[in-house]
Amino acid sequence: MNAATQPRHSPRESRDEAYNFAYLDEQTKRMIRRGLLKAVAIPGYQVPFGGREMPLPYGWGTGGMQLTAAILGAEDVLKVIDQGADDTTNAVSIRRFFARTAGVATTERTPEATIIQTRHRIPETPLHSDQIMVYQVPIPEPLRFIEPSETETRTMHALNDYGVMHVKLYEDIATFGHIATAYAYPVTVDERYVMDPSPIPKFDNPKLDMSPALMLFGAGREKRLYAVPPFTRVTSLDFEDHPFEVQKWAHNCAICGSHDSFLDELILDDQGTQSFVCSDTDYCAQRVNEGRTGQ
């Protein structure tokens, strides 16, 4: 059996005493927590924070890591996802980073985790109210593509002036005949702020709506954080005659046979033979352990 079908749970290790708990110093973590409280109080509003240098480059999840560091407690169980998988470079190194600097237990099993830091995916397994999702966000500003000025976008948010958001969707339909935006699909949070849900596929947008888990978003380079509190309305923007739709596949997962999860396409040989497998490796492994198979 490979790693994908054998999820691991690593118990607490002794932490590296050379670092403060979870790498950041206590005052920085307090500053981020104050920002998070504000973000939770105003769902979808982007709160600036004093971003710190992290020991990895921007774009690799520095924003998410700072948020995780700020909320991490000694008893927490951490799961890190990269492109749905637990065993890719980014996921493995961030998990190992916190195991070393905070000495927390880590897991690949979604139901066991208390904090899930993610890039690109929300787990297929439904979340529960004791869990916190932390998203790594590259560009927090959903209006950026059409309005380069930060002062202007802030005013637009303040005045609820979101007409231009539909210009992008209009362009999609005019060019491709349907809304072709497939990831970072803009949403309205609590009928007020328009928010970029980070580069998750639009397949995951419905999972944000009325989720029992707290959702936190951190952008390291842009130094912004925002949040969706539990049980908050999150609606995806659309047109009346072109309603929001998620991706669908004609195939089932080759490993577990799932027909309703997000599938990755694999090319197996030079003849272009395709195979589709679940992007969420933990979900796939859970199903295999329940005795389900593909093909």
Partner 1 sequence: MNAAQKVHQAVAADSALPLLKVNGLSKLYGPEKGCQDVSFELYPGEVLGIVGESGSGKSTLLSLLSGRCPPDSGVIDYRTTQGTWLDLYSASEAERRTLLRTEWGFVEQNPRDGLRMAVSAGANIGERLMAQGIRHYQQLRAAGLDWLDQVEIDPARIDDLPRTFSGGMQQRLQIARNLVSGPRLVFMDEPTGGLDVSVQARLLDLMRGLVRELDLAVVIVTHDLAVARLLADRLMVMRRSRVVETGLTDQILDDPQHPYSQLLVSSVLQP
Number of residues that bind partner 1 (CB under 8 A): 20
Q: What minimum distance in Å lies between the beta carbon of 152 and partner 1?
A: 11
Where residue 281 falls (left for φ over 0; alpha for ψ -120 to 50; beta otherwise) is: alpha
Is position 51 annotated as part of the catalytic site? no
SS3 133: strand
Is position 294 annotated as part of the catalytic site? no
* Residues listed for the chain: 295
Q: Which of 44, 51, 64, 220 is catalytic?
A: 44
Is position 50 annotated as part of the catalytic site? no
H/E run at residue 226: strand 224-228
Is position 272 annotated as part of the catalytic site? no
241 part of the interface to partner 1, by CB under 8 A = yes
Instruction: Give the residue with the Cβ less far from partner 1, 129 or 160.
Output: 160
Tell me the two tokens of residue 70: 């700020």
240 part of the interface to partner 1, by CB under 8 A = yes
Q: Which of 18, 174, 250, 291 binds partner 1 (CB under 8 A)?
A: 174
Tell me the two tokens of residue 287: 């199903």
Stretch that binds partner 1, among 9-17, 109-117, 152-160, 181-189 (CB under 8 A): 152-160
| Spatial distance between the Cα atoms of 200 and 185, rounded to a whole number of angstroms | 8
170 part of the interface to partner 1, by CB under 8 A = yes
CB 197 within 8 A of CB 118: no
From the number of C-beta atoms within 10 Å of its C-beta (0-12, 13-18, 19+), residue 33 rates as: middle
Contact residues toward partner 1 (CB under 8 A) are 146, 155, 159-161, 163-164, 166-168, 170-171, 173-175, 238-242
